[in-house]
């Protein structure tokens, strides 16, 4: 079984040579979490809003582990859709390393999930002390915990983002639904896939499991394997001009 980074389908779409699989052909079991992404910024920087980033003479530095991650793709998407500029520094071994780089002042920002931002340290402390603030969220609507933070859709309306930019945004933000999918290999026997899907659904609806999730200040929201399978096929059926623009956004 596989529980991959939810953005891998983007690497397949742009034709990265390292990709040796077909995202649409995996045996989709289900997803235990649906969350959107945000970009946080150190509060001692001059970047209080996305307008500040748009007008900056020197772009802020955001940290990321690699190109197929939220930390890389979100800043690049904001450049395409909102006319901002970011200097994305890749090569960190993990998300914790990016956060340490923010703490040391090597970089000023990072994009990742809303769930992680509200689910663990150092972010509990950072929010209390005002060390960082969320500067944008990518969900369809504002998260209640980020009521004062504008969404990508709101800002695309404000800055009159062209239609092709909006299509690219739809591709990148589909990871909100994939989030942390559980998958079997291509060609998994249908009867085994059915058993796994049913067991996964029962787990995500089990009161004891949900209570444990709540006690750890995490979120659990079930998405069926059938829904993920449909979305995977949709993501792999993009227009050529959209894929070309996506390649441009990601520097492919």
Q: Does domain 37-163 have CATH number 3.40.190.10?
A: yes
Mean pLDDT of all residues in 103-116: 94
Structure confidence at residue 9 as a pLDDT band (50, 70, 90):
confident
**Where are the domains positioned within the chain?**
8-34+179-249, 37-163
Nearest by Cα to 13 from 171, 122, 210: 171
Q: For the chain, give the mean pLDDT.
A: 92
Structure confidence at residue 252 as a pLDDT band (50, 70, 90):
low
| For residue 177, pLDDT beyond 80 | no
């Amino acid at each position: 079984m596989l529980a991959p980074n939810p953005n891998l389908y983007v690497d397949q779409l742009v034709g990265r040579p390292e990709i040796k699989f077909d995202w649409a052909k995996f045996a989709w079991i289900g997803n235990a979490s649906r969350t959107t992404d945000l970009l946080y910024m150190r509060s001692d920087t001059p970047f209080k809003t996305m307008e500040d980033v748009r007008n900056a003479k020197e772009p802020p530095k955001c940290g990321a582990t690699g190109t197929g991650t939220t930390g890389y793709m979100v800043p690049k998407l904001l450049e395409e859709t909102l006319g901002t500029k970011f200097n994305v520094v890749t090569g960190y071994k993990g998300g914790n390393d990016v956060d340490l780089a923010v703490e040391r002042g090597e970089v000023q920002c990072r994009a990742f999930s809303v769930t992680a931002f509200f689910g663990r340290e150092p972010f509990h402390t950072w929010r209390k002390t005002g060390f960082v603030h969320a500067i944008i969220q990518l969900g369809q609507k504002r998260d209640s915990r980020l009521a004062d933070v504008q969404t990508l859709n709101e800002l695309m309306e404000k800055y009159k983002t062209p239609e092709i930019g909006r299509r690219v945004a739809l591709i990148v933000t589909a990871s909100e639904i994939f989030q942390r999918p559980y998958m079997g290999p291509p060609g998994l026997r249908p009867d085994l896939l059915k058993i796994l899907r049913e067991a996964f659904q029962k787990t995500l609806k089990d009161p004891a499991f949900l209570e444990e999730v709540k006690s750890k200040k995490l979120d659990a929201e079930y998405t069926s394997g059938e829904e993920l399978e449909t979305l995977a096929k949709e993501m792999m059926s993009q227009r050529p001009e959209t894929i070309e623009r996506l390649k441009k956004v990601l520097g492919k």
